[in-house]
Structure 1
């Protein structure tokens, strides 16, 4: 079934996706379909049902019915199925990676990396089954103890972004399930097929009906219905800050438990004592991977005045060697996800140049030769005058680097913190005091010191400010999929 799906997505036919609700495949109450485009070719590769509020309600009811029995299983019994799903992901990694390429456009080697992360998120969650802990405290009363138990929320709704359609799904699915919750996934309509593929594998390895459900459709219909329903207990979402604010408002009436991983505007600080060549390689990797469509990307640079010219010369030269092309040929950059997203990037660049920025490398939209179709954008490097330039304030989410010069470390820290966002930051320096100072002074949930981006599964991926609330990964991420129940046990 999975192989047939890939054949239709990449061949002459169109794959007709369905929703997976309560253990069955269905088009639900949808009367229309949403066309899914390959961003490298603009070809329509498949369709999904335009789900309705009724479909959202049906998926939540299926999850609600399945949840008590799922939660009653010993955690390691739940983990056995999560391990089995991880094994299935590994066994089908090439097929899953090509599905990601077809719907999202990232180069094949990067898609393989995403599927590796997809598997890792599941395995880490399953391995955590024997590490679920409670607490016992002495009471103030005789013959009494205070017990704190970790218990599941109930039904978890996962809303995922289009930039990592497979990995973001299992980043949420694994810990939610091992904690005893059931799960409803609403994948982004640009990239729904990775989530559908995961549901196919979950069905294959024997997940009980209703434990993992997938619904499709628009965020303003299906997504809103999932968020506002009285039958969804926790909402975990990865996406834009704008969408996060809408979910925050939509969940307010029912005081929803929310975990929101939103936009980022990561500063990349390079001091005069840094390993310049290593910093250049890191800056390139942290900006241009996935065509800059990563929330932890290098979004703005602060370069010490003593090394700024050398650094920028090397940065431009290294960037000019990047290859753009067919994602299946393993280039360095694939296309942007959509024409709208590509045009947004170009508008930010144009505004920044109009405000006085110097274009050290002026890329832009590409539309010729082998790239005559698709949403291509070549790398751009801008030298800006100050921190008010549009490219220094707005999340670009594309292959553009704005950079400015600073006179000392304190100025770099001050400018880095001058942002509404607080997800990730980078610091390159050989001075340990500076690194320790940055740990205290930078208002960001993640700080990469002398290394490029790429958080680890045992860490904690969390944003501050308008980059969100809650977090994912590691023991702290898992803890968010539990709520706590206090029992006063008296045996006098």
Structure 2
């Protein structure tokens, strides 16, 4: 089956190829992983440092490809490639910190050794919004641990995924150890179901995450790490610097055209006195440049990934309006044939049965509440639990927010989408399955083995045996 990728900004063809065979790719990885696992950690780390050098030498070309295929501004695509480059050093440190070898003293001169083994062959399903950085966040720690990887890029960004894997091969990672499996949802299902994989590492929607969780229920021997989306709250309450707060709100809601799992979806403000912050946010919204990735001046937002995604966001926005939402800035589509959307803000305070869903686009919902306790209740009014942030001058407000809000990322006077790679990243609720990625990815890429060790056999049984003198011949 032929797979085709078009630039969302122009509709131009960017890549075409054939869908792969999951069983064949898993078999190749299975045949190669033992030799890779037998290599020392130092060898694997040095090989991945060569990968860094390869990516750095192709930085501009890689960023250009990501910008064109994912539709994100070129400046943002460059930061993504930078994250790919930085991942190896971070993951090397994480391996030593989280899964390094340990020797402990035990009784009678024995030793207790704790070491880690790779699982074997791990499948990685990547998303389209960060087609290099997010799957690479699984791939690097998996390879460092000694696993082989079969990576299926999103069918919406196959060229970026292939480019990433080609960089690994050029750096000297054996071709059988990192495989690129192209294809759509059916190929992804085949990969997840293949008996030859020892686990699956997923980044994507909560809906697909739930399906995978159910699918893996009968195979508890296989590792499953899920990083899904969020219906993320941003509480703006008693800020000192209104201008800075407005910038944080706009960045949280509209960065990557709202196509980040950590984007703010709900802005929660006080019923009384919210007009000032709202005016500042609207001024910034009206200045946002929406244009193609290489436009001059550089845009803040590019298009969504494709027309189907833009259609879905428009439908979700219209549903909020039909339920009683009041548009403050409308969601417009400047070009009917292309997936550009303008940043939207809609007051949903009086909407009954407000949908608890992730609107994966530039739509921010305004919710007015009476007091800070109600703001916290509203923040928790979701099945998701990925990211949350509070903007306030009062440390006591932040402390109360942190203690009571359920999320894996909780920020203070920072955007919801500011999560460092040097810390764990993951959510609760339906936003994940308690296997955070980023710095903690080392935890699910290897399993611990505990060994009690002694150089000589020394043992006796002191209880429960008959006296040898009392045994009759």
Q: TM-score, normalization: structure 1?
A: 0.88
Q: Secondary structure at the match of 1:488?
A: strand
Q: Secondary structure at the match of 1:366?
A: coil
Shift of 1:128: 4.4
Q: How big is each residue's C-alpha offset from its partner over 1:212-258, in whole Å with a ceiling of 9 and x where there is no partner?
A: 110111222x2122212222112100001111122122222222311
Q: How big is each residue's C-alpha offset from its partner over 1:4-53, in whole Å with a ceiling of 9 and x where there is no partner?
A: xxxxxxxxxxxxxxxxxxxxxxxxxxxx20221211112332212122xx
Does the 8 Å contact 1:82/1:123 carry over to 2? no
1:244 aligned residue:
209
1:156 aligned residue:
122
Q: TM-score, normalization: structure 2?
A: 0.91
Q: 2:19 aligns with which of 31, 50, 75?
A: 50
Matched pairs, number: 450
1:472 aligned residue:
437
Shift of 1:305: 2.7
1:39 aligned residue:
8
Partners of 1:438 and 1:264 lie apart in 2 by 18
Listed as ranges, the gaps of 5+ residues in structure 1 are 1-31
Q: What are the residue-to-residue correspondences of 1:229-240 with 2, within 5 Å?
A: 229-240=194-205
Q: Secondary structure at the match of 1:480?
A: helix
2:426 aligned residue:
462
Q: How big is each residue's C-alpha offset from its partner over 1:64-104, in whole Å with a ceiling of 9 and x where there is no partner?
A: 22212211211111011111111211221110011112211
Partners of 1:471 and 1:48 lie apart in 2 by 33
Partners of 1:129 and 1:73 lie apart in 2 by 15
Are 1:183 and 2:149 counterparts?
yes
Q: How big is each residue's C-alpha offset from its partner over 1:141-164, in whole Å with a ceiling of 9 and x where there is no partner?
A: 645443322111111111011100
1:25 aligned residue:
none
Shift of 1:389: 5.7
Q: How big is each residue's C-alpha offset from its partner over 1:417-449, in whole Å with a ceiling of 9 and x where there is no partner?
A: 110100000111111112122221110000111
Shift of 1:270: 0.7
Shift of 1:138: 5.0
Q: How big is each residue's C-alpha offset from its partner over 1:331-370, in whole Å with a ceiling of 9 and x where there is no partner?
A: 1111111111111111111111122222111132221xxx
Higher Cα Rg, which structure: 2
Partners of 1:134 and 1:151 lie apart in 2 by 11
Q: How big is each residue's C-alpha offset from its partner over 1:91-132, in whole Å with a ceiling of 9 and x where there is no partner?
A: 211100111122110111111111111111133224445554
Q: Secondary structure at the match of 2:64?
A: helix
Listed as ranges, the gaps of 5+ residues in structure 2 are 459-473
Shift of 1:393: 2.1
Does the 8 Å contact 2:325/2:350 carry over to 1? no
Q: 2:29 aligns with which of 63, 84, 108?
A: 63
1:484 aligned residue:
448
Question: Root-mean-square deviation (CA), in Å?
Answer: 1.7
1:133 aligned residue:
100
Does the 8 Å contact 1:161/1:238 carry over to 2? yes
Are 1:206 and 2:169 counterparts?
no
Are 1:265 and 2:255 counterparts?
no
Shift of 1:58: 1.8
Change (3 A) 1:129 1:446: closer
Partners of 1:102 and 1:197 lie apart in 2 by 13
Q: How big is each residue's C-alpha offset from its partner over 1:136-193, in whole Å with a ceiling of 9 and x where there is no partner?
A: 4455x64544332211111111101110001112111111111111111000100011
